[in-house]
Structure formats: structure tokens, C-alpha cells
Structure 1
Amino acid sequence: MATTSGTADTSMPDSSTAAGAVGLARGVELHPRHDQAFPTLTPPEIERMRRFGEVVRYKDGDMLFETGKPGPGMFVILSGHVAITQRDGLGHVTPVVEQGAGQFMAEIGQLSGRVALVDGQAEGDVETLLIPPERLRALLVAEADLGERIMRALILRRVSLIQGGAGGPVLIGPPNAPDVIRLQGFLTRNGYPHHLLDPEFDKDAADLIARYTPTPRDLPLVVVPDGTVLRNPSVSDLARTMGMIGHIPKGKLYDVAVVGSGPAGLSTAVYAASEGLSVAVCDSRAFGGQAGASARIENYLGFPTGISGMALTARAYNQAQKFGADIMIPITVQSLDCGRDDGAFALALDDGEELRARSIVVASGARYRRPDIAQLSDFEGRGVWYWASPIEARLCKEQEIVLVGAGNSAGQAAVFLAAHAARVHMVIRGGGLGASMSRYLIERIEATPNIELVFNTEVVGLEGQPESGLSGVRIRSRLSGGESAMEIRNLFLFVGADPATGWLGGCGVTLDRGGFVTTGVTADGETASALETSVPGVFAVGDVRSGSVKRVGGAIGEGAQVVAALHGFLGDTAKPAL
């Protein structure tokens, strides 16, 4: 029993096209679901697909697609053979698999036309049916049974890429370095394959370090497939260099722009795009939002054995792309302009571009609150965490850790981390969990022997040096006022939430005292639709909305509900996107 003190999945997402990912590793036949991941199409199935593509022929030695370059679409091989090889930025070329007649080459990133992760070269004369991304999405919808098989294969291939660490960038640096963890977290949360080399043990990595002589501040080095070497890049620089971020077509006017790709934003994207609206989605970090941090959600409808937040939102992410939503990550929205003469809204983006849409859905969510603790920012990424993934769990192996929070996300994180840490001290400001946590989680925590519940207590201080990381925390009883110190190297914070609404300043959208978006009332005090803000055409859903339930199920429901309001605003005869 927990002691009390008084004081996965197959749904990985986007990012690269292609053709490439058809077999990952040196023995695709060993894939646990090989027949599903690498099916051979029958002649009648290929005939059904012909209306979606065109026949393209290649000569011996021609490249069908190349690592790091946008691929033209999904290839169905009609005759001949194509050799798939993996090429990384260090100059290593590794044979992966050979594809023949009846097989197709693509992975989940091809739905949005991202760059290829591997090379495909014709061996002899090759005839293919080339299906571009927009026609591939049409095929998946029009040919339900065949589309289901193809979609499953695309997802499983991306999963293989991630699990095998094939394709994508090479990170070079100490595994526990804060900036290594930062970049690994970004790539992992976005479902992008990558691998890490420790220069202490890997000769190639050590040679590269010697060649570039980086300072400690320059690590990690990141080598992208074209050989470009980045010195400790920001996530935006890394994403742009690798072609992760899609480009906004010049002059395009979307029907709806969604800001935020958590459960509410993804739900909006799926339902709006499936009903024919042109949809753009922006997010500054990764899809999934706070829900992506949930190690296991067991009370979401339809998943009796539970599902991780990452897996659940990855499914929605793939689904939104299937219906044609343009998802741009990482892109930060800096401001909203509601006063255009043409009636359109304009989002100013951090890359200097502008995204125009006829309506806006605010789904930017809320972020875990940073408690008022001295030097907190100095230790973020150096022992202070707001996310509990396998990356952070690795750092806690056989250690005692402190976790602060009393909500469902805190409970899920505590149970997950307890499987890795020696002991989890769960610090709670109040005197119980019943008011803020689901009963099934409370029972799970109480049944976990290495979780200690510390009630009526708060963290008031941190110890250590920013360069070397956190070494301890000070806690204080809210009943007696007494303080004590704990030797702790990892502190997890899941406390409260601050709405991400700073970008709405000056556009006329009304916020409540806490900064959450108010809905259902116009600027003149008249009644509006339940999810519409004080600015007509701007809607809010999910955690960012004042009065929302702050649960994954509620956020997804609001995302679906807002689509009816969007249709009402845009009109039954919505103009096609330019």
C-alpha cells in the first residue's frame, strides 16, 4: 500500500514522407506485424487505385526519392525493383530492403508531403503508379477497405522508423545533458525518428566533436541527413532545417485556422476537415498538449484497457492529416488581427509569415503553472520537469523523486514514474485527493507501494547549481510551518494551469480574471453561441475556455461541437479556399 505522511501503440504521426519508410531496418521481414506493414497489393486493387495517380517510368539508377527532399507521393510498383537504402548525415549508407511489383512505398508523413527519410533507387527499368499526397488522401477516403489497409501500413512503417532510430537527425552529446533531453523530447513528442550518439563511447561521434571543437554550450551537435551540422539548435531551427514545417500556400485563405493541437484542436481539425472545410492548425511545441503527458488514460470512452495520451492524440493527428488538415509544428502564433477590410482574420507567425482564415478556433490550452520558487527557471531541464515521458523516467531510475500536484495528470505521472524510481514522494498542498482526482487513480496510487503521499505540504526552495543540476528541495508543512530538506535530483511539477492567451491581446476577445477566454456572450452583452467569443467568427474550445471541464473527453467533445458553429458562421455555401 502507498504510505501517507502528514506533512503505445501504433499511432505515431508525421513528419517525413515517404516512400522511404518502407522497411526499416535490416530485416523488415522480422517486423512483428510484417504482413500489415508491408502488404502486397493484388492486380484488382491496383486497378482501383489507377484513377488516383499516373504511370511514371524510371531507368536503371534513377532516384525515385531522396533523403531530406520532399517526395512526390506514394509509389505503387507495377514492374521492376526499387532498392531502399538509409543514409545519415555522417555518410553511412545501409541497405534496407528491396521492393518489387505489387508493393507500395510511403509512410505516414506522405499524407502531408514531408521530406523522405530514406533513398529509393531504380534497379533496372521500373514502372510505377505515382499517387500525389492530395490524391492519396482522396484514395483513403473513397476506397474504405483498401484505404484502411494502406493507412495501417503507413502508421506501422513510421512506428518502425521510430523504434529503429532510422532516418532523421543524429544527436551527438551526453545522454543526460539538458539540451540533449530538450531536443529528444521535441522529436519524440512529434513522432520523428532520430538517434543519439554519445561521444564518450562512439568513435564517429568523437571524431565529429574533434573536427568541430564545440564548446560545452554548442552541444549537442545535430547532424541532419544532408550533412548539415547544427550547434545546439532551437527546436524551430532544427525543424526548419529538416523540413518538418509545411509551407503556407501564398495567398491561401483557409475556412478555419486552429491555434493549438491538443485534444480540442485536433478534434476540431478532424471534424472540420472531414466535413469539407479547409483547415490549418498551428502549435508552438508538439501535438497532444498537456494530454500528451498522460502516461495512461483509463477512463476515456472506448479504451477499457487504457491508452497513453501520446497514443490517443497521435491517432487524432494522423486522422486530421488523412482528411487534409494542414498541421504546422512548431509555429508560434504571435498575434491575431481581427480588423481586416476583407473580413478575414490574420495570424502573425514567428517566422514572419501570415496565415489568413475566415474563422478562428482558439485551442491554445493551458500550461502547467510555475510556482513562485526562487531559481526555478535555472533548474528547468536540469532536474525540474513539467512532463513525464520515458526520457525523464530514464533519468529517475532507482532514485527518489518529488512530484507536486493532485490532479489526474499528476496521478498518472506518479504511477508511471513509480515503475522506474525507487520512491515517489507525491507532495499535495491540500489534505486529500478526492476533490481533484478520479477515484480509479486514487486507488491505483494507494495500491502502489513506492508512492508516498505527503499532504498539506508545498515545495518552497531548490538546492544545487544550475550547471550541475538539482541536488535537493526544501518542503514546508502548511499546518505547522516547519521546513525540511530532501536530497532529490528530479522534481516534477503538475500544478494548476495558466491559459496560453497572451497572443490574443488587443484583438477584442474578452478574457476572464484568470486570463481564460469567455464564450457565449458578445461584446455588447448579448447571447452568442456557446463556444463563440466576444468577436464574431472567433471561437474557443478546451482548457483555454473559461468554464470548460478541463478533461480530455470534454475537450474532444467541444472540438466536435464547434464545427456546427463554424458552419453556422461561414454559411451553408462556404466559399472554397483560395
Structure 2
Amino acid sequence: MASKPTILAVDDDPVVSQAIVRDLRKRYGGEYRLVSATSGGEALALLDELILRDRSVALVVSDQMMPQMTGIEMLAEVREKSPESKLLLLTAYADTDVAIRAINDIALDYYMFKPWDPPEEQLYPVVDGLLDDWVDAHPPETSEVRVLGHRWSERSYEIKTFLARNHVPYRWLDLERDEEARLLLDLAKRTADDLPLVLVPDGDSLASPSTRDLAAALGLRTRAEQTLYDLCIVGAGPAGLAAAVYAASEGLSTVVVERDAPGGQAAQSASIENYLGFPKGLSGADLTHRAVAQAARFGAETVLASGVTGFETRGPVRAVLLEGGDSIEARAVLVATGVSYRRLDAPGVEELGMRGVYYGASANEALQCEGEDVYIVGAANSAGQAVLNFARHARRVVMLVRGSELEAGMSQYLVDRIRSTPNVEVRLNTEVGAVSGEGHLERLTLVDRASGDEEEVRASWLFVFIGATPRTDWVGDVARDAKGFLLTGQEMMASPSGEQWPLPRPPFALETSVPGVFAAGDVRQDSMKRVASAVGEGAMSVYLVHRYLATI
């Protein structure tokens, strides 16, 4: 039987040490093994013993002010020995600055002030969040989906991306590198023509399944349960998820329709460090996971792997049309489909497809580039976050920037971090002139935009983070600007489409040219393209939906 993961509590005051262990055992003793130490040295010795015995350490809780070795000094060594353990510092208010520095210096996960009474209000909510994050990253092996395929297979890449972005634990087995993959293929009585092969625990093997079939096999919801909703939200990015939380919590029957996976572009961010309330930052996947759970808690439905093809006005009802002929009817619709990265316009790109050239990147894709060179195109925050994430694993990361400076489109904190990372090279005034390779990416032609000089480099990985193309091809006659972004409120009325507004009242702030159809987030014209602003617009849209529903 697998042993329980460990929680290690450290405090030089035996009374305090006993108290923290008592409170932690009361809440977590059923699922975790609680051990304690009264000094940093003793704690590190215990940690060494646990590591030698292959025992997982989920959380280390330490006091800051201890003799010989402070809590931060001890936790810094814990981070080196057990990098995936969650670290919680207990400190006095006077040591706040030290704790904040530790967030950057040793990736401290959280700090809180002593005393922690009552633990139900002060301690447990913090520890719950840390342990939930640790459990998400360490699923039992028996619950893992296994994906068998080839490294350069487009369909394999799509399936892995779908699983990762839907927070489904999986293990990738490359048929060319892993003997286990070849054995499993034989046991499943499949051939290479069936790849990628998805092995679902307690389910049938799936040969190159569609995302909809895969979602159904995993028990994810792919159909709406009700015949009519108050609000249908198209798109489960930050704006859509925020709207779902507020709408469902305020009693509106709510459904969210998502083509790919919740989170949108934000879900692919390895670290969002300027989001209010998270001084250490959080990953886009973590933010998405929390938001999805929060929306579900209030009763919002999420329908996955369902592409939207159009919508119709059916009297007072708006119908969102889905692939396959299904539709969802609602009294109001919110378009929160966000944007996708613009395709790279260079010879060879379309021929290679997703065999070395990718658009965006989830945080876990960096692991596949261990020890290799990675090229990233783009200079906005999303590109900067990806550069730093890949730099943790790749031998070298080369950032290709069309402009003459990074600061033009990137937050300063990311610029500073990139310039201080030794294995990151920034090439300004540079663009991709062509890509080539036999069956997958092998070479890039780089063009100096100032001189016109060309250079050919060897490369297997190219990740593109450029431009923003709105997903509005399905909205029909709803007013858009020349680039496809939706016009809302006064901006819509100021356009030629405003002459077609059918009601005597003016449109609400986020309302499109069709009454009862709203837009929020990056899909709107002149939106801020920041997670916080998308969340704000999603919340604001629910207030406007209430006002609209009161008029019909």
C-alpha cells in the first residue's frame, strides 16, 4: 500500500510545535502523516530520511524566528531537496518584508501571521489550498490516462493539449522511445495506424479519438441538461468563467459552452504574477481550475468539446447553434470567446503544421524540451511568461522580437526577469523568414529586419505568440470592426451598425448590435487584453444581463 504523504511542522518552541501539529492532525491526519521538528537542522535531517525512503512531502510549515537557522533559510534548503513540496511560513507582522522577498528568492508558496487562531478561519483555508494544489500535481498513478503516440504527430499533440488544459492527469509514452508504449500497443491489439492511442482507466482504448469522444469517455459533460437557460456563455476564458460565477451565484440558470478547454489563452500561462491578491503569482491552469470549481459550486453547467457554429433569434430567446446540429436556448447570450494567436506567415509553416511549430504553449510542454533549444516568437506578456517557463528546462531559449525593444509590449517585471536569465537570448529586429524539415521542424531561417541579412539555424521547437485574432466567425450579422472584434455599447452606436439598433432604448455598455447578446473580454473592440480586465468585464456583464432580462 502507498504510504501517506507527509506534512512537516517546524518550530523551536515545543509548545507551539505541538499546537501546530495538533491543529494540522485534527484536520488532515486521516490523509497525511504529521511529523514535527524543533529546529531547522532537525527538520532537514528528517527530510533527508523521508527522501531516502521515497516518502512524499506535501507541505512544510515553519516558524521564521528560530535560533541557528531561520525558517526561510531552512525552507530554502527544503526547496533544493524537495522542489515540489509546498512551503508555508509562519511569521510576525514585523517580518513581512522578509517573507515577501522569500516569495521571489525561494518560491515561498504562502506566509501567514501567528497566532493562527481560530484555525478554522485562519489556518485551514490556507493549508487546504496548498494541499489541493499539491494533490493536483501528484495524482495517483492508477488514475492516469496514458497516451501512446509519436512525438511529431499533430493529433497526439492535440490530445495531450486537450488533456492538460482540462486538468486530466496523463502519461505520455513515445512509441519510438518507450518500450512500455510498444508493449501496451501489442496488448491492446492495435497497430501504428491506430495512433495516438488513449488508454482510459476502467475504459476501452480509444484510437485517435475526437476531442468530443475523448471528453465523453472521461466523463466530461458534452451536452446541456436543460432546455432553456437565463444565460448562455460562449467561451470559458477568464471573462466567461467570471460571468458564470456571478450569474450562477445570483440565481441565473447558466451554461458555459467551450470548444476546447476552460481558461482560454490565460490557461496556457506558466505564471500570472500581476493578478491582484496573489503576491507569488499563480499559473493560468491554477486560476482556471479554481474558477471552474467555483462556477460549478454555484450551479453553472459547463459543456465541453462543443464548437459553436452560429446563433439564431427565436422571438425572446437566443439559440446558440453547436456542431452536430444541437443547439442551446437562452434568454441572453454572452460572447466571451477571446482571441487566438495569429498564424505565422512564413514559407513552410502550413506544410509542417503542428510538427514543431506551435501556437501558444501550456506550462507542462516545457518538460518535453528538456536539454534542447527552443525558439519563441512574440514580445507580449504571454511570450515573456513562456520564455521563463521554457528556460527552466531547455538548454537555451531564443526570443525572436520584430521590434527594437522589449518594453514596448511587455510588463517591466517580465523584461527584468528575462534579461537576468542566463540561458535566454533575446534577438531584436528579427523575424522568421522560413521554416523547413523532413516530416517535422529541423531548420529556421531568421531575418534581420534592419539589414535584411538571413541566417539558418537548427531548431526542433518553435512556439508562436503573435497577434490576436478574435473568434467571431460564427456570430453572423452582429456588428464587428474590420478585424472582427465585436462592437458594444456606444462604440457600436457610433459605427454604421448603430443605425440598425432596433430598440428605442440605448444599448447597455457591453451589449452588441443584437439586443440580449453581450460581449466581454478580449473579443471586444479595444479591450485591455489583461486577465484582470477580462474578469471585471465578465462580472459587469451579469449586472447588465439582469437589466436586460428585466426589460423582456
TM more than 0.5 = yes
Residue 385 of structure 1 corresponds to 358
Pairing partner for 1:570 from 535, 549, 552: 549
CA distance in structure 1 between the aligned counterparts of 2:383 and 2:239, rounded to whole angstroms: 20
Query: Residues 171-250 of structure 1: matches in 2 within 5 Å?
Result: 171-174=147-150, 177-197=153-173, 205-210=181-186, 214-249=190-225
Q: Shift in Å at residue 187 of structure 1?
A: 1.0
> 1:51-75: CA deviations, max 9, x gaps?
xxxxxxxxxxxxxxxxxxxxxxxxx
Are residues 244 and 161 of structure 1, via their aligned partners in 2, closer, same or farther at CA, if it must alter by over 3 Å?
Answer: farther
Residue 156 of structure 1 corresponds to 132
> In terms of mean alpha carbon deviation, does 560-569 or 524-533 score higher?
524-533
Question: Identity, % of aligned pairs?
Answer: 42
Q: Shift in Å at residue 524 of structure 1?
A: 3.9
CA distance in structure 2 between the aligned counterparts of 1:202 and 1:410, rounded to whole angstroms: 32
8 Å CA contact 1:397, 1:421 repeated in 2: yes
Pairing partner for 2:254 from 263, 267, 279: 279
- Computed over aligned residues only, the root mean square deviation of the Cα atoms, in angstroms, reads 3.0
TM-score (norm 2): 0.73
1:510 matched to 2:486: no
Q: Shift in Å at residue 380 of structure 1?
A: 3.6
Q: Shift in Å at residue 36 of structure 1?
A: 5.3
| Aligned length, in residue pairs | 438
8 Å CA contact 2:363, 2:389 repeated in 1: no
Amino acid across the alignment from 1:306: G
CA distance in structure 2 between the aligned counterparts of 1:434 and 1:181, rounded to whole angstroms: 32
Are residues 153 and 303 of structure 1, via their aligned partners in 2, closer, same or farther at CA, if it must alter by over 3 Å?
Answer: closer
Residue 8 of structure 1 corresponds to none
8 Å CA contact 1:427, 1:458 repeated in 2: yes
> 1:387-426: CA deviations, max 9, x gaps?
3334421222222221110100011111111111122111
Residue 535 of structure 1 corresponds to 514
Query: Residues 491-510 of structure 1: matches in 2 within 5 Å?
Result: 491-505=462-476, 508-510=477-479
Amino acid across the alignment from 1:269: A
CA distance in structure 2 between the aligned counterparts of 1:36 and 1:514, rounded to whole angstroms: 54
Query: Residues 109-188 of structure 1: matches in 2 within 5 Å?
Result: 152=128, 156=132, 159-160=135-136, 163-167=139-143, 169-174=145-150, 177-188=153-164
> In terms of mean alpha carbon deviation, does 237-246 or 302-311 score higher?
237-246
Q: Shift in Å at residue 165 of structure 1?
A: 3.6
Pairing partner for 2:384 from 392, 408, 411: 411
8 Å CA contact 2:267, 2:362 repeated in 1: no
Amino acid across the alignment from 1:559: G
1:300 matched to 2:265: no
Residue 49 of structure 1 corresponds to none
8 Å CA contact 2:238, 2:531 repeated in 1: yes
Task: Specify which structure has the higher proportion of helix.
Answer: 2
Are residues 400 and 541 of structure 1, via their aligned partners in 2, closer, same or farther at CA, if it must alter by over 3 Å?
Answer: same
8 Å CA contact 2:229, 2:253 repeated in 1: yes
> In terms of mean alpha carbon deviation, does 431-440 or 161-170 score higher?
161-170
8 Å CA contact 1:385, 1:493 repeated in 2: yes
Residue 436 of structure 1 corresponds to 409
Residue 168 of structure 2: SS of its match in structure 1? Answer: coil
Are residues 203 and 461 of structure 1, via their aligned partners in 2, closer, same or farther at CA, if it must alter by over 3 Å?
Answer: closer
TM-score (norm 1): 0.70
Residue 484 of structure 1 corresponds to 455
Query: Residues 339-488 of structure 1: matches in 2 within 5 Å?
Result: 340-341=314-315, 343-466=316-439, 469-488=440-459
8 Å CA contact 1:28, 1:34 repeated in 2: no
Are residues 39 and 377 of structure 1, via their aligned partners in 2, closer, same or farther at CA, if it must alter by over 3 Å?
Answer: farther
Amino acid across the alignment from 1:541: A
> In terms of mean alpha carbon deviation, does 383-392 or 479-488 score higher?
383-392
Are residues 397 and 357 of structure 1, via their aligned partners in 2, closer, same or farther at CA, if it must alter by over 3 Å?
Answer: same
Q: Shift in Å at residue 167 of structure 1?
A: 2.2
CA distance in structure 2 between the aligned counterparts of 1:560 and 1:486, rounded to whole angstroms: 47
Amino acid across the alignment from 2:513: S
| Unpaired runs of at least 5, structure 1 | 1-24, 41-143
8 Å CA contact 1:185, 1:391 repeated in 2: no
